[in-house]
């Protein structure tokens, strides 16, 4: 079933005239619940609405009946065709029946009420929620602030970073740049971002709301959702998605509905994998550091975790270097955060490079997770070449490097063609993020791996087929090291560069 917000309205005095005034709204139109008229003589000074009757279609009701209908959300708005008449009745209706945000003119209705319920009072409540919950970054999926004509943040919320999804069809006036720090054309563009909270306000049937929450869970620990009154809150709490992944639900009443605050089960499952091909000893490494033996299938067991169990490509290690360990981590682990170091290179929590490896200076899980609240990925400071890397072979034969590069280019064109221009640009560059050393959330790590292995496994196979090299040649592994930089250039991630400790004599 399609998600469409269809406002339920009561029309004052003349339904026929209302239909003539407008064409059907974009986003699903409207549902006329009935026509009402206020009976009795109006006296501005002595008028008591409680003593007068209301004509609803062909039956007479009192003010309490109308209020009960409003409380049960049998209608969203009372619409006046005459704005002057609207202003006359607002004080009386808002005193006894419903919030003034629900008493509107026809002109306002057709201009502003589109995909979700419009209420400036709900905006103010939301801002207080953001302040009280210490929300410093928010993704507004449904452009709630723009739909409610919020042009500028209040002073107390000025530091909150609000970003929104505005498709090309959604024209957003420039004034909204005072409220929104950034707009994305689609969710794909910000899928690697992490926010203190995500805001969902459009009308969604329950099943689609659960699916949307599931889709966005990697991006936040908190959801703020506007639910119109008829939806049963217990249905949300008892849904498998909610029961499994969320630890609390808070309900805050607002106009014609509720703000629902969902808080995820917080997990800080962190693992730093230290890749090695030989035995080494560094006492007192942090507890979350795990040594992984790359290429164990072809070598003696060193007593570490191996890359040859479960789904693995351990036998390709002579060609792809540490990428066989990365493949194993991708396919066989489910940490929330994951990092990669080398037996002789480690991330440092100090501000300077060191050629001495000291366990007490290794970045800890707590330090890494804290940084990942502000950044999407942690990397080593980039390595610079004296020339472009297309002309630099390192310890490899230059002809082998260029052959492996040509094969990689061919496979990128075949499997990831949208990255080809980025590959060309980086090929003539003089820097890279080396050694595949990184720390990030696991779903970002997985996305990179899915991209990388889609073309690199076919490329490595083609390289061996063409060259028939014995002993194995690591030229493809050398090319692989550059692919992280290619991927990063195409994806909008907030990067934090860190120093390393390395001892090349190990």
Distance CA 328, CA 323 (A): 9
Burial of 171 (0-12, 13-18, 19+ CB in 10 A): exposed
pLDDT of residue 6: 83
pLDDT of residue 361: 97
pLDDT of residue 40: 63
Handedness of CA 301, 302, 303, 305 (dihedral sign): negative
* 39 pLDDT higher than 80: no
Q: What is the DSSP letter of 188?
A: G
Nearest alpha-carbon partner for 341 in 192, 218, 506: 506
- Tell which wins on pLDDT, 318 or 240: 318
Q: Say which range, 166-180, 233-247, 249-263, has the weakest mean pLDDT.
A: 233-247
Longest dimension (CA), the chain: 102
Mean pLDDT of 333-357: 95
High-pLDDT (> 70) share of the chain, %: 88
Mean pLDDT of 340-349: 96
Residues 6+ apart with CB under 8 A from 45: none
Q: Say which range, 186-200, 214-228, 397-411, 490-504, has the weakest mean pLDDT.
A: 397-411
Contact present, 429 and 488 (Cβ < 8 Å):
no
Mean pLDDT of 183-194: 94
pLDDT confidence bin for 189, thresholds 50/70/90? very high
* 393 pLDDT higher than 60: no
Q: How far is CA 212 from the centre of its chain?
A: 11
User: Judging by DSSP bridges, how do beta strands 383-384 and 431-432 pair with one another?
Assistant: antiparallel
High-pLDDT (> 90) share of the chain, %: 60
Say how many C-beta atoms besides its own lie within 10 A of residue 131's C-beta.
13
Structural domains for the chain: 8-112 (3.40.50), 120-264 (3.40.50.150), 270-502 (no CATH)
Tens digit of pLDDT for each residue in 238-259?
667 666 778 878 999 998 889 9
3-state SS string over 435-490? HHCEEEEHHHHHHHHHHHHHHHHHHHHHHHHHHCCCCCCCHHHHHHHHHHHHHHHH
Contact present, 379 and 434 (Cβ < 8 Å):
no
* 371 pLDDT higher than 70: yes
pLDDT of residue 273: 98
pLDDT confidence bin for 158, thresholds 50/70/90? very high
* 286 pLDDT higher than 60: yes
Helix, strand or coil for residue 237? helix
pLDDT confidence bin for 27, thresholds 50/70/90? very low
Helix, strand or coil for residue 406? helix
- Tell which wins on pLDDT, 398 or 67: 67
Mean pLDDT of 54-70: 89
pLDDT of residue 387: 58
- Tell which wins on pLDDT, 142 or 469: 142
pLDDT confidence bin for 466, thresholds 50/70/90? confident
pLDDT of residue 114: 63
pLDDT confidence bin for 317, thresholds 50/70/90? very high
3-state SS string over 292-361? EECCHHHCCCCCCEECCCCCCCHHHHHHHCCHHHHHHHHHHCCCCEEEEEECCEEEECCCCCECCCCHHH
pLDDT of residue 243: 64
Q: What is the DSSP letter of 382?
A: P
pLDDT of residue 26: 47
Contact present, 116 and 125 (Cβ < 8 Å):
no
How far apart are the two ends of the chain, measured CA to CA in Å? 61
pLDDT confidence bin for 465, thresholds 50/70/90? confident
Mean pLDDT of 108-120: 80
Name the β-bridge partners of 138: 162, 197
User: Judging by DSSP bridges, how do beta strands 438-441 and 377-380 pair with one another?
Assistant: antiparallel
pLDDT confidence bin for 54, thresholds 50/70/90? confident
Q: Say which range, 309-318, 346-355, 400-409, 414-423, has the weakest mean pLDDT.
A: 400-409
* 113 pLDDT higher than 60: yes
Q: What is the DSSP letter of 195?
A: B
pLDDT of residue 111: 80
Mean pLDDT of 192-208: 90
Distance CA 275, CA 467 (A): 28
Burial of 307 (0-12, 13-18, 19+ CB in 10 A): buried
* 187 pLDDT higher than 50: yes
Question: What rounded mean pLDDT belongs to the chain?
Answer: 88
Q: How far is CA 432 from CA 327, 389, 473, in A?
A: 21, 9, 22
* 236 pLDDT higher than 80: no
Contact present, 326 and 436 (Cβ < 8 Å):
yes
* 355 pLDDT higher than 80: yes
Nearest alpha-carbon partner for 50 in 60, 38, 68, 62: 62
Entry field: residues in the chain: 506
């Amino acid at each position: 079933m399609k998600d469409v917000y269809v406002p339920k309205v009561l029309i004052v005095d003349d339904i026929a005239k209302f239909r003539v005034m407008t064409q059907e709204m974009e986003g699903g139109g409207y549902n006329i619940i009935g026509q009402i008229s206020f009976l009795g003589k109006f006296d501005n000074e002595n008028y008591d609405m409680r003593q007068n009757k209301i004509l609803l279609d062909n039956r007479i009701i009192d003010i309490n009946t109308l209020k009960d209908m409003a409380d049960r959300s049998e209608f969203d708005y009372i619409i006046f065709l005459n704005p002057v008449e609207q202003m006359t009745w607002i004080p009386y209706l808002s005193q006894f029946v419903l919030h003034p945000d629900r008493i509107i003119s026809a002109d306002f209705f057709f201009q502003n009420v589109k995909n979700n319920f419009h209420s400036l009072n709900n905006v103010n409540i939301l801002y207080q929620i953001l302040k009280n919950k210490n929300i410093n970054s928010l993704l507004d999926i449904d452009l709630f602030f723009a739909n409610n004509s919020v042009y500028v943040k209040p002073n107390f919320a000025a530091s909150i970073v609000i970003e929104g999804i505005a498709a090309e069809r959604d024209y957003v006036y420039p004034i909204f740049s005072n409220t929104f720090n950034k707009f994305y054309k689609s969710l794909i563009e910000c899928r690697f971002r992490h926010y203190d909270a995500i805001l969902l306000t459009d009308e969604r049937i329950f099943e689609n709301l659960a699916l949307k929450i599931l889709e966005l869970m990697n991006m936040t620990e908190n959801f703020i959702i506007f639910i119109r009154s008829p939806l049963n809150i217990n249905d949300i709490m008892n849904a498998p998605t909610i029961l499994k992944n969320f630890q609390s639900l808070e309900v805050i009443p607002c106009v014609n509905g509720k703000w629902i605050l969902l808080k995820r089960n917080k997990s800080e499952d962190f693992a730093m994998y230290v890749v090695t091909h030989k035995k080494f000893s560094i006492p007192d490494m942090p507890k979350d550091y795990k040594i992984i033996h790359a290429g164990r299938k072809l070598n003696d067991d060193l007593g570490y975790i191996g890359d040859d169990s479960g789904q693995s490509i351990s036998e390709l290690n002579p060609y792809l270097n540490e990428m066989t360990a990365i493949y194993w981590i991708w396919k066989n682990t489910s940490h929330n955060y994951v990092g990669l170091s080398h037996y002789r290179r480690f991330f440092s929590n100090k501000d300077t490079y060191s050629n001495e490896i000291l366990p007490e200076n290794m970045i800890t899980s707590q330090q890494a997770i804290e940084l990942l609240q502000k950044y999407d990925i942690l990397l080593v400071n980039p390595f610079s070449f004296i020339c472009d890397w297309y002309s630099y072979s390192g310890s490899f034969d230059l002809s082998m490097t260029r052959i492996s590069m040509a094969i990689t280019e061919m496979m990128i064109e075949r499997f990831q063609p949208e990255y080809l221009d980025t590959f060309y640009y980086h090929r003539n560059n003089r820097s890279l993020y080396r050694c595949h050393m990184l720390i990030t959330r696991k779903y970002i790590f997985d996305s990179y791996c899915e991209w990388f292995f889609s073309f690199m496994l076919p490329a490595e196979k083609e390289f061996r087929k063409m060259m028939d090299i014995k002993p194995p040649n690591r030229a493809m592994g050398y090319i692989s090291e550059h692919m992280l930089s290619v991927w990063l250039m195409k994806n909008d991630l907030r990067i934090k560069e860190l120093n390393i400790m390395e001892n090349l004599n190990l």
